[in-house]
């Protein structure tokens, strides 16, 4: 067998190992008997016909198997993606096994403390029970996040450029930034509800505040850390003040700006959920509060699952934008 063929076979082994845990979870869910008779899954009418939570779990696992198999095949052509896929193989296998273990201990045998630790099929049940209601709350959270985080990024970058470039702005704004930045955004809730006409705009304000501090601070640091030699070279070539700011200082600050955006992203998501739990008429935080009132902890986990997926997608999107904007760093920064 030639070296190339051996590499293909070895890589195929990693792809199989990646999906093996999820395949085990499918078989266990299908073949392992339901020993705790208190658990019954109701069937619901969907666009694909009648379905219960157990069937939905197996469908989700099959989708994961297909998705990781296809992504593995596509990653084979790119060395960097191939290495990353191989590196993640063990983690994905462990995730599949964990789902299988939780299925047995949380649903099939009910060994885990109930109702605080439901099994994976029970966590997926709300998507069949009240999928429209979950979708409405998810869209509300997304709308709130997009408005709040977008304004927070713009306000943070603008403030950072001001205090990083203008000494007078630094003198007056920097102390305010340092004082306001250490106060948790949720602490501003009573003032926000008083100052703004609706709970939605009050929550947007809180997200803007929590995103403003890290983005503004790191943007200012990036502006101030621009080497003086770059300014001197640009001046010799005829660059004016605007050129120095937009073609030297801001590009130099871009890595710090994206670091601030990534930090603010996590803060904004946390503030979003807290704001929804403290007075919003909708959203995933509102849904969690509603579920807690009725001790429906499986619905709480369903909302947490949506948050995890949304946050991962947003992080991926921010990472792709950063990779494109900072493409000049490729081969320079490891």
Assess whether the previous peptide bond of 115 is cis (omega < 30° from 0): yes
Predicted pLDDT at 330: 64
Q: Regarding the domain with residue range 132-329, which homologous superfamily does it belong to in the CATH classification? A: MetI-like (1.10.3720.10)
324: helix, coil or strand? helix
What is the H or E stretch that residue 51 is in? strand 49-51
Locate tokens 């969690």: which residue?
Answer: 288
Per the model's pLDDT, the better-predicted residue between 1 and 183 turns out to be: 183
CA 80 – CA 32 distance, rounded (Å): 39
> In degrees to the nearest 10, what's the CA dihedral of 129, 133, 138, 141?
-140
Whether this prediction's pTM lies above 0.85 is answered by: yes
Predicted pLDDT at 293: 84
Q: What residues are paired with 209 via a beta bridge?
A: none
Every domain range in the chain assigned CATH 1.10.3720.10? 132-329
CA 94 – CA 106 distance, rounded (Å): 17
DSSP category for residue 183: S
User: Residue 312 has which token pair?
Assistant: 């991962």
Predicted pLDDT at 254: 92
Of the candidates 96, 71, 99, the one whose C-alpha atom is nearest the C-alpha of residue 84 is: 71
Among residues of the chain, what percentage have pLDDT more than 70?
A: 97
For residue range 193-240, list pLDDT tens digits in order. 888 888 899 999 999 998 999 999 999 999 988 888 888 888 887 878
Q: Does 331 have pLDDT greater than 60? A: no
For residue range 114-131, list pLDDT tens digits in order. 888 999 999 999 999 999
Locate tokens 């920064």: which residue?
Answer: 333
Mean pLDDT of 96-109: 95
334: helix, coil or strand? coil
Mean pLDDT of 275-292: 88
């Amino acid at each position: 067998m030639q070296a190339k063929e051996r590499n293909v076979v070895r890589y195929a082994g990693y792809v199989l190992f990646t999906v093996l845990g999820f395949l085990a979870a499918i078989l266990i869910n299908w073949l392992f008997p339901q020993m705790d008779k208190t658990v019954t899954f109701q069937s619901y009418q969907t666009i694909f016909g009648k379905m219960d939570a157990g069937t939905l779990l197996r469908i989700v696992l099959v989708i994961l198997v297909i998705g990781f198999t296809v992504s593995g095949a596509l990653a084979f052509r790119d060395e960097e993606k191939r290495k990353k896929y191989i590196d993640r193989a063990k983690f994905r296998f462990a995730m599949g096994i964990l789902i299988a273990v939780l299925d047995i201990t949380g649903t099939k045998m009910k060994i885990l403390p109930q109702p605080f630790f439901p099994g994976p099929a029970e966590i997926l049940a709300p998507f069949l029970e009240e999928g429209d209601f979950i979708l409405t709350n998810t869209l509300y959270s997304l709308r709130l996040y997009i408005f709040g985080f977008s304004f927070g990024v713009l306000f943070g970058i603008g403030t950072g450029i001001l205090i990083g470039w203008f000494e007078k702005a630094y003198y007056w704004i920097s102390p305010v930034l340092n004082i306001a930045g250490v106060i948790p955004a949720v602490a501003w809730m009573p003032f926000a509800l008083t100052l703004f006409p609706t709970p939605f705009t009050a929550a947007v304000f809180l997200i803007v505040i929590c995103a403003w501090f890290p983005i503004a601070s790191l943007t200012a640091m990036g502006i101030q850390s621009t080497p003086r030699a770059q300014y001197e070279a640009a001046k010799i070539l005829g660059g004016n003040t605007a050129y120095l700011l937009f073609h030297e200082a801001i590009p130099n600050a871009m890595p710090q700006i994206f670091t601030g955006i990534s930090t603010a992203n996590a803060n904004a998501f946390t503030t979003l959920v807290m704001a929804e739990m403290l007075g919003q008429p909708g959203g995933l935080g509102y849904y969690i509060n509603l579920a807690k009132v009725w001790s429906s902890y499986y619905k709480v986990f369903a909302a947490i699952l949506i948050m995890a997926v949304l946050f991962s997608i947003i992080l991926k999107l921010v990472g792709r934008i950063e990779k494109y904007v900072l493409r000049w760093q490729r081969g320079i920064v490891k």
